[in-house]
């Protein structure tokens, strides 16, 4: 594997450099050809690096950036008012070819606005979409958009479908089944945008569009790519995290409900731990912004070091697969 250079927005997320620096250093140990550029305030970052005296500083550089974009800051304000934010400087490194990908746990709206401004979208794409793999009964499916675009037109949903299909192909799924998320599978169901998007997709050449899929069908693995607007996708993703957490808690409670139950719980613990790891959000952390002229990975703002490492791994995989270039090459076949 040739060297990969990833620019890390070290100031983003709920925990900032306190989470991101240890996660970054752990990834350097795991991937010997990985180089990282931590972007942010050196006075905050350097003391955290200094805690790891054995870190290979030839592969870990700090790029100064004075400003921080707050998690609740308006994207327009982040775009106009903060030319020296850690997020923007990190994206600039990708634009200038000094890094091959950017990873940030910061403000999603700001990351989207800055990515579009700094990196630009691929020809034919109006808005990038956030996509991530979610586990299903059949394996996994690519779900998009996950929250970058809360108000979407039918044309946007159509472009998301095309991008999701191409990304799934690049990731190894032959003739991925593409579906629109809807409240029913009958043709008359759905809101206005979904019905119009279905019309567009029915006419699309070369896409394996299979129609509507419902929320339960998604988890049954009825499609390889599931398309929705960012409002719906974000709520689906977060409510699924919440429900999985609640079920986990209730399982624990069952195994504490008496002496016999405690004993069985003790025996079952390794099995349940394995299950929890399979479903853990940290395992699936790291959503990709599809449709940009560069690789941008969004980590969950609340992700801990394990989650942030997953996001870095996803960036590495997309670098290896050359995803934006391959996406660009394939988009022309499908776009209206």
3-state secondary structure of 327: helix
Number of Cβ within 10 Å of residue 32's Cβ equals 10
Phi (first) and psi of residue 85, to 5 degrees: -75, 155
| 71-87 exposure pattern, b = at least 16 Cβ within 10 A, e = fewer | eebebeebbeebeebbb
3-state secondary structure of 220: helix
Stretch that binds a second copy, among 7-15, 46-54, 93-101, 226-234 (CB under 8 A): 226-234
Would you say 172 or 270 has its CB closer to a second copy? 270
Would you say 90 or 218 has its CB closer to a second copy? 218
Would you say 257 or 325 has its CB closer to a second copy? 257
Contact between 105 and a second copy (CB under 8 A)?
no
Contact between 86 and a second copy (CB under 8 A)?
no
Contact between 232 and a second copy (CB under 8 A)?
yes
Binding mask 252-271 for a second copy (x = CB under 8 A): --xx-x---x--x--xx--x
225-227, strands of its sheet edge to edge? 60-64, 34-40, 4-9, 101-104, 295-298, 287-290, 129-136, 139-144, 225-227, 178-181, 209-213
Phi (first) and psi of residue 100, to 5 degrees: -100, -10
Site residues for a second copy, window 9-38 (CB under 8 A)?
none
Contact between 199 and a second copy (CB under 8 A)?
no
Q: Which of 51, 66, 191, 333 binds a second copy (CB under 8 A)?
A: 191
Stretch that binds a second copy, among 40-48, 84-92, 229-237, 319-327 (CB under 8 A): 229-237
Give the residues lining the site for a second copy (CB under 8 A).
Answer: 71-72, 74, 109, 135-137, 147, 150-151, 181, 183-184, 186-192, 194, 214-220, 228, 230-232, 234-247, 249-251, 254-255, 257, 261, 264, 267-268, 271-272, 274-275, 278-279
């Amino acid at each position: 594997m040739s060297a990969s250079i990833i620019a890390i927005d070290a100031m983003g997320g709920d925990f900032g450099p306190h989470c991101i620096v240890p996660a970054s250093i752990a990834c350097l140990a795991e991937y010997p050809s990985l180089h990282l550029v931590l972007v942010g305030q050196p006075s905050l970052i350097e003391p955290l690096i200094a805690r790891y005296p054995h870190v290979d500083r030839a592969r870990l550089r700090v790029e100064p950036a004075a400003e921080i974009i707050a998690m609740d800051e308006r994207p327009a304000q982040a775009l106009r008012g903060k030319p020296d934010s850690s997020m923007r400087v990190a994206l600039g490194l990708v634009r200038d070819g000094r890094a091959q990908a950017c990873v940030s746990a910061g403000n999603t709206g700001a990351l989207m606005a800055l990515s579009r401004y700094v990196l630009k979208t691929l020809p034919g794409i109006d808005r990038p979409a956030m996509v991530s793999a979610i586990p299903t009964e059949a394996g996994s499916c690519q779900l998009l958009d996950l929250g970058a675009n809360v108000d979407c037109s039918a044309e946007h949903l159509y472009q998301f479908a095309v991008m999701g299909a191409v990304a799934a192909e690049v990731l190894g799924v032959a003739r991925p089944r593409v579906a629109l998320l809807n409240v029913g599978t009958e043709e008359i169901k759905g809101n206005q945008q979904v019905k119009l998007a279905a019309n567009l997709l029915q006419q699309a050449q070369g896409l394996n569009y299979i129609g509507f899929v419902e929320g339960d069908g998604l988890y049954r693995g009825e499609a390889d790519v599931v398309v929705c607007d960012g409002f719906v996708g974000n709520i689906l993703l977060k409510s699924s995290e919440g429900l999985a957490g609640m079920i986990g808690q209730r399982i624990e409670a069952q195994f504490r409900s008496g002496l016999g139950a405690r004993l069985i719980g003790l025996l079952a613990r390794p099995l349940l731990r394995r299950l929890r790891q399979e479903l853990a959000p940290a395992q699936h952390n790291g959503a990709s912004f599809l449709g940009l002229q560069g690789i941008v990975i969004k980590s969950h703002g609340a992700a801990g070091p394990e989650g942030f490492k997953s996001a870095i791994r996803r960036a590495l995989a997309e670098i290896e697969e050359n995803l934006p270039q391959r996406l660009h090459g394939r988009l022309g076949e499908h776009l209206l």
